[in-house]
Amino acid sequence: MKKTILTIILLLCSILVGSCGNSSNSTSQENKLNQENTVTASQSNSKSNSGNTQKLTQQDNPKPINDSIKNDNPTFGTIKEMQNGHLKCYVSVIDRNGKLHESVGATFDVCEPDKYVNKNVNLFYGLEDVNDCQSAEPCGKTIKEWLITKIEIRD
């Protein structure tokens, strides 16, 4: 009787240990898939933009440009809202065609609502590293995103 109980306990413990080891592998595989899907979605949802954006980016940001991540954000328009988030600043812009672009990313350096809201502006972008974490705490993972790095008020 004691041998049977001992055998059952050992069997259950080995199953639990085995399932815990597999769960961390599946979680890490899911994270890798989510990162790949994010990049793929960004690439498939973006349209090729005119050379103006990349030319402006090269002037303001000497980092090499990764052509696989296209920038389809507006290069000028009227800023309707700016809000600091945990990972970046979020900007709402109405372009010259009247289309609203919500949650356009920007660096914290340019996030000045008092200065830019309801102003016609030129927007300059740079390919920046953004934390790819579920909170504001650094986790060591980043992704590349086009962020507004400079804003000029138009006359």
Of 137 and 108, the structure prediction assigns the larger pLDDT to 108
Q: What is the pTM of this model?
A: 0.55
Q: Whole-angstrom Cα distance, residue 104 to residue 121?
A: 14
What are the backbone dihedrals phi and psi of residue 107, each rounded to the nearest 5 degrees, phi first? Answer: -75, 160
DSSP secondary structure code for residue 67 in this structure? T
Q: Whole-angstrom Cα distance, residue 13 to residue 19?
A: 10
Q: Give the rounded distance of the alpha carbon of 19 from its chain centre.
A: 32
User: In sequence order, what are the beta bridge partners of 92?
Assistant: 81
Identify the burial level of 62 via C-beta atoms within 10 angstroms of its C-beta, where 0-12 means exposed, 13-18 middle and 19 or more buried: exposed
Q: Whole-angstrom Cα distance, residue 106 to residue 146?
A: 8
pLDDT in tens, 5-45: 777 777 776 776 665 555 444 444 444 444 444 333 333 33
pLDDT in tens, 51-66: 333 333 334 444 444 5
Q: Which token pair is 144?
A: 């590349």
Over residues 101-111, the mean pLDDT reads: 96
